[in-house]
């Protein structure tokens, strides 16, 4: 027996004549380990993130679009409605957060299995299992798995799209690969159209690359056409909405850029590092960098990914699976590392998912290279690194969950106080954190300035003649000009200014 470049044991046999063509991977059956990783991922979400964790700010926007708990919140230009469609089977008839979290945890576990399983035949099962485990144990993946947010689903779509594209490129008659390619591309575009474009740039470029074997040009273009069709199908609603609600596609893109601080050259590596300490949104992103003990794994990603790609190239596989994953990870990370002036750890989930493949290849190669003491030392080092990885991820995750729960309990307390003041549905809130507090209260929300501007002082004053209206400010802050005559009520971390006619 010997080991190939991926660390897979293969038998040494006498060479026998075989037809010319691509050299296939060793037959590798191993669905059970990857399925176990996906099942453990689901259970870990339910145990560590807690199903009773209240909805976050962005979640209230997505869920309120069809939920029965509160009126639909303002839907800003960068958002897409994929998450709303994702939660529809539960949110359309129930306001139970526990039920929604359990549903999303199970769904994200299934998504992880299918996304990594789509690489079967391209990479050995042990690589897919390790890659899935590495991605599933990131605190960012665990935290956002049961949440109504788009980034994890873009990650799954990017993984599956790259795999299905490579399989369809090798055989354009592979119907399963073509259907998977179209569906995964549509999934990405439903969730975040711009991320979908960045993630698929290397796949379109692969059409221009020479491929082994004799194939007609039309067959080479088939996967590219399916990929483009999937992206178009997923983005069509977002594009139509651009013309019906935002004044056109160009204006929606410009407004999305404005809300994101204006896209332009900006090195955000340090911002992402600060976010990895457990800041869900780092904007503005200032302060010291987090301890290396919490972020050391981030520094190891680039060298390990490059090493994995080199190992794959040296193996001379007929399909460039690992280099393609690395290329897609690079392009999907570009806007969040080079073009946006703030950070959120979830933005890089698609890149982490794709990078897990070359990293897994590198780790397996390190543990199988050499012999004797060198191999033992390498295995001990890798095992210690994986254990340190788990410790670092859990320590950050625990703090993130506690802080998030505390903030959401604060919104619930404010909602209870508003109910006590007579601000009950139908009602309207404006001001500081009005969107999430309005959801918890069961009210509509409106803003006269900022990224979520969707009303005017006149409209709010007119609403105050019909329904209870309140403005929220930080303690000691002045109310909006139109609310200066309203009654103020002081509650710890928030001041509530209630229109006189509210009761």
Query: How confident is the model at residue 501, as a pLDDT?
Result: 62
Residue with tokens 């699976």: 321
CA angle 81, 135, 45 (to 5 degrees): 70
Query: How confident is the model at residue 474, as a pLDDT?
Result: 95
3-class secondary structure per residue, 415-454: HHHHHHCCCCCCCEEEECCHHHHHHHHCCEECCCCCCCCC
Query: How confident is the model at residue 267, as a pLDDT?
Result: 87
Query: How confident is the model at residue 9, as a pLDDT?
Result: 45
Return phi, psi of residue 123, to 5°: -135, 150
Give the Cα separation of 439 and 237 in Å (integer).
25
DSSP helix/strand/coil, 10:
strand
Tens of pLDDT along 443-496? 999 999 988 999 999 999 999 999 999 999 999 999 999 999 999 999 878 999
Rg value, the chain, Cα: 25
CA angle 181, 182, 186 (to 5 degrees): 115
Instruction: Supply the angle between the helices 321-334 and 349-368 in degrees, to the nearest 10.
Output: 140
What would the mean pLDDT of 352-361 be, rounded to a whole number? 98
- Is the Cβ–Cβ distance between 350 and 144 less than 8 Å? no
Tens of pLDDT along 134-177? 999 999 999 999 999 999 999 999 999 999 999 999 888 899 99
- Calculate the alpha carbon distances from 488 to 299, 433, 442, 448 in Å: 50, 17, 21, 20
- Calculate the alpha carbon distances from 81 to 55, 85, 187, 198, 347 in Å: 17, 6, 11, 19, 17
* The residue count for the chain: 503
- Is the Cβ–Cβ distance between 353 and 386 less than 8 Å? no
- Is the Cβ–Cβ distance between 494 and 414 less than 8 Å? yes
Tens of pLDDT along 381-391? 999 999 999 99
Tens of pLDDT along 401-416? 999 999 999 999 999 9
**Burial class (CB within 10 angstroms; exposed 0-12, middle 13-18, buried 19+) of 166:** buried
pLDDT classification of 293: cutoffs 50, 70, 90: confident
- Is the Cβ–Cβ distance between 146 and 55 less than 8 Å? no
Residue 53, token pair as written in the block? 């964790």
Residue 329, token pair as written in the block? 């990870």
pLDDT at 219 over 80: no
H or E segment to which residue 487 belongs: strand 487-491
- Is the Cβ–Cβ distance between 222 and 174 less than 8 Å? no
Instruction: Supply the angle between the helices 193-206 and 217-245 in degrees, to the nearest 10.
Output: 160
- Calculate the alpha carbon distances from 10 to 16, 31, 72, 124, 180 in Å: 16, 19, 58, 12, 30
Query: How confident is the model at residue 166, as a pLDDT?
Result: 95
pLDDT at 380 over 70: yes
- Calculate the alpha carbon distances from 46 to 49, 106, 327, 480 in Å: 6, 9, 33, 41
pLDDT at 326 over 80: yes
- Calculate the alpha carbon distances from 22 to 18, 38, 121, 171, 320 in Å: 11, 32, 13, 11, 12
pLDDT classification of 2: cutoffs 50, 70, 90: low
- Calculate the alpha carbon distances from 502 to 415, 442, 477, 497 in Å: 15, 15, 21, 10
Instruction: Supply the angle between the helices 175-191 and 193-206 in degrees, to the nearest 10.
Output: 150
pLDDT at 76 over 60: yes
Residue in 158, 169, 164, 157 with CA at minimum distance from that of residue 207:
169
Tens of pLDDT along 21-75? 344 444 445 689 999 999 999 999 999 998 999 999 999 999 999 878 899 999 9
Query: How confident is the model at residue 6, as a pLDDT?
Result: 58
DSSP single-letter state for residue 347: G
Tens of pLDDT along 266-280? 888 999 999 998 888
pLDDT classification of 18: cutoffs 50, 70, 90: very low
DSSP single-letter state for residue 288: P
pLDDT at 8 over 60: no
pLDDT at 11 over 50: no
- Is the Cβ–Cβ distance between 124 and 24 less than 8 Å? no
């Amino acid at each position: 027996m010997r080991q190939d470049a991926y660390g897979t044991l293969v038998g040494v046999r006498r060479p026998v004549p075989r037809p010319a063509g691509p050299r296939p991977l060793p037959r590798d059956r191993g669905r059970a380990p990857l399925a176990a990783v996906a099942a453990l991922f689901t259970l870990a979400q339910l145990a560590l993130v807690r199903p009773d964790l209240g909805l976050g700010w962005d979640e209230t926007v997505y869920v309120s679009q069809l939920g029965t708990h509160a009126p639909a919140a303002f839907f800003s230009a960068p958002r897409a409605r994929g998450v709303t469609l994702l939660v529809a089977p539960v949110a359309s008839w129930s306001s139970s957060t526990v039920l929604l979290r359990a549903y999303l945890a199970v769904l994200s576990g299934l998504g992880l299995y299918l996304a990594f399983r789509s690489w079967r035949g391209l990479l050995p099962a042990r690589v897919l299992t390790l890659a899935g485990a590495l991605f599933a144990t990131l605190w960012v993946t665990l935290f956002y798995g049961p949440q109504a947010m788009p980034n994890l689903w873009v990650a799954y779509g990017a993984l599956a799209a790259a795999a299905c594209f490579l399989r369809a490129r090798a055989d354009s008659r592979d119907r399963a690969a073509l259907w998977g390619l179209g569906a995964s591309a549509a999934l990405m575009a439903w969730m975040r159209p711009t991320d979908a474009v960045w993630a698929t740039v290397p796949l379109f470029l692969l059409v221009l690359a020479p491929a082994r074997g004799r194939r007609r040009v039309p067959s080479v273009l088939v996967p590219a056409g399916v990929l483009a069709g999937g992206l178009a199908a997923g983005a069509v609603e977002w594009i139509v909405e651009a013309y019906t609600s935002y004044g056109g596609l160009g204006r929606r893109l410009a407004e999305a850029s404005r809300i994101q601080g204006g896209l332009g050259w900006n090195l955000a590596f340090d911002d992402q590092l600060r976010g990895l300490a457990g800041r869900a949104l780092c904007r503005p992103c200032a302060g010291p960098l987090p301890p290396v003990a919490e972020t050391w794994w981030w520094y190891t990603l680039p060298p390990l990914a490059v090493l994995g790609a080199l190992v794959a190239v040296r193996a001379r596989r007929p399909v460039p699976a690992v280099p393609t994953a690395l290329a897609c990870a690079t392009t999907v990370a570009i806007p969040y590392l080079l073009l946006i002036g703030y950070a959120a750890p979830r933005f890089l989930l698609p890149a982490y998912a794709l990078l897990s493949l070359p990293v897994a290849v590198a780790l397996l190669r390190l543990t199988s290279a050499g012999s004797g003491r060198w191999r033992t030392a390498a295995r001990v080092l890798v095992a210690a690194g994986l254990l340190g990885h788990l410790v670092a991820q859990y320590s950050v995750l625990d703090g993130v969950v506690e802080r998030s729960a505390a903030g959401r309990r604060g919104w619930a307390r404010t909602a209870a106080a508003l109910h006590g003041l007579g601000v009950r549905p139908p009602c309207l809130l404006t001001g500081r954190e009005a969107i999430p507090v309005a959801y918890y209260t069961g009210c509509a929300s409106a803003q006269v300035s900022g990224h979520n501007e969707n009303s005017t002082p006149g409209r709010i004053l007119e609403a105050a003649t019909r329904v209870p209206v309140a403005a929220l400010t930080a303690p000691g802050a002045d109310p909006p000009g139109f609310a200066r005559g309203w009654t103020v009520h002081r509650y710890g971390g928030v001041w509530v200014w209630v229109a006189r006619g509210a009761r």
